[in-house]
């Protein structure tokens, strides 16, 4: 009698090889790009929209300040950020993902990687970034934003700047985090509100990232008062 899952261990083994290959390629391609900023945001933003134009200008100014730019490689905000990096003449990375509704890589990537697994892709966003700029977006953008917050809060990653672009879009979420998670439920601590900043223009975001790089360097994170870094044997 044949069982539908009889070959599952073999399938899982091949899946493991694919995962290893995605990590290996990502490490090889991104390990030498230097200081970089990951920019997140909706794939549905259009070139005539304010946030698309703001993302392009932010990436351009960051590029002119010496940062490579990392995006998800698709359209909308991702395209705008890659376009800004391309204009600035710096490394413009696209971490493209295979989706049922196929994502079309934008044409402004100078380094283009392709992933089947979201978790491999997310490692590349976070591992090689010296800061995160989050433009308005949907579930995917929220996932990337909160992933960065969790890693910083739990000290799994140095506390690089996380910048939310557009107070009119993000303020409601920030008010909910403060009111529900902090003040009402105490699910987070007051210092946890300090792991991100809201900005309304490219100049402010770029200044935050440049100032951090100059003050702290790539890994010179100073813990906020009252927080203690995990010892090496406590980390994964």
As a whole number of angstroms, the distance between CA 1 and CA 98 comes to: 35
The answer to the question of residue 220 being in a domain is: no
Write out the chain's pLDDT in tens, 236 residues. 445 565 778 788 899 999 999 999 999 999 999 999 999 999 999 999 999 999 999 999 999 999 999 999 999 999 999 999 999 999 999 999 998 876 789 999 999 999 999 999 999 999 999 999 999 999 999 999 999 999 988 887 778 999 999 999 999 999 999 999 999 999 999 999 999 999 999 999 999 999 999 887 543 333 344 434 333 333 33
> What does the pLDDT read at residue 106?
97
What domain count does the chain have? 1
The answer to the question of residue 13 being in a domain is: no
The answer to the question of residue 11 being in a domain is: no
The answer to the question of residue 27 being in a domain is: no
Domain that holds residue 63: 32-181+194-213
The answer to the question of residue 154 being in a domain is: yes
The answer to the question of residue 232 being in a domain is: no
The answer to the question of residue 26 being in a domain is: no
The answer to the question of residue 17 being in a domain is: no
Which CATH number goes with the domain that contains 170? 3.40.50.450
């Amino acid at each position: 009698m044949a069982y539908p899952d009889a070959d599952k261990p073999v399938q899982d083994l091949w899946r493991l090889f694919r995962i290893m290959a995605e990590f290996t390629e990502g490490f090889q391609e991104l390990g030498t790009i230097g200081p970089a900023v990951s920019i997140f945001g909706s794939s549905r933003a259009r070139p005539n929209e304010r946030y698309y134009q703001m993302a392009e200008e932010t990436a351009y100014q960051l590029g002119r300040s010496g940062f490579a730019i990392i995006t998800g490689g698709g359209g909308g905000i991702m395209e705008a950020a890659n376009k800004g990096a391309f204009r600035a003449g710096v490394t413009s990375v696209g971490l493209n993902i295979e989706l049922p509704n196929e994502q079309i890589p934008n044409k402004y990537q100078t380094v283009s990687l392709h992933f089947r697994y979201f978790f491999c892709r997310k490692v590349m966003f976070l591992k090689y970034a010296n800061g995160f700029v989050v433009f308005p977006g949907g579930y995917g953008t929220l996932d990337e934003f909160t992933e960065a917050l969790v890693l910083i809060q739990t000290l799994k990653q140095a506390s690089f700047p996380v910048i939310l672009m557009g107070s009119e879009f993000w303020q409601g979420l920030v008010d909910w985090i403060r009111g529900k998670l902090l003040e009402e439920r105490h699910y987070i601590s007051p210092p946890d509100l300090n792991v991100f900043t809201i900005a309304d223009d490219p100049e402010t975001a770029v200044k935050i990232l440049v100032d951090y790089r100059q003050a702290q360097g790539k890994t010179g994170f100073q813990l906020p008062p009252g927080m203690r870094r995990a010892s090496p044997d406590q980390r994964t």
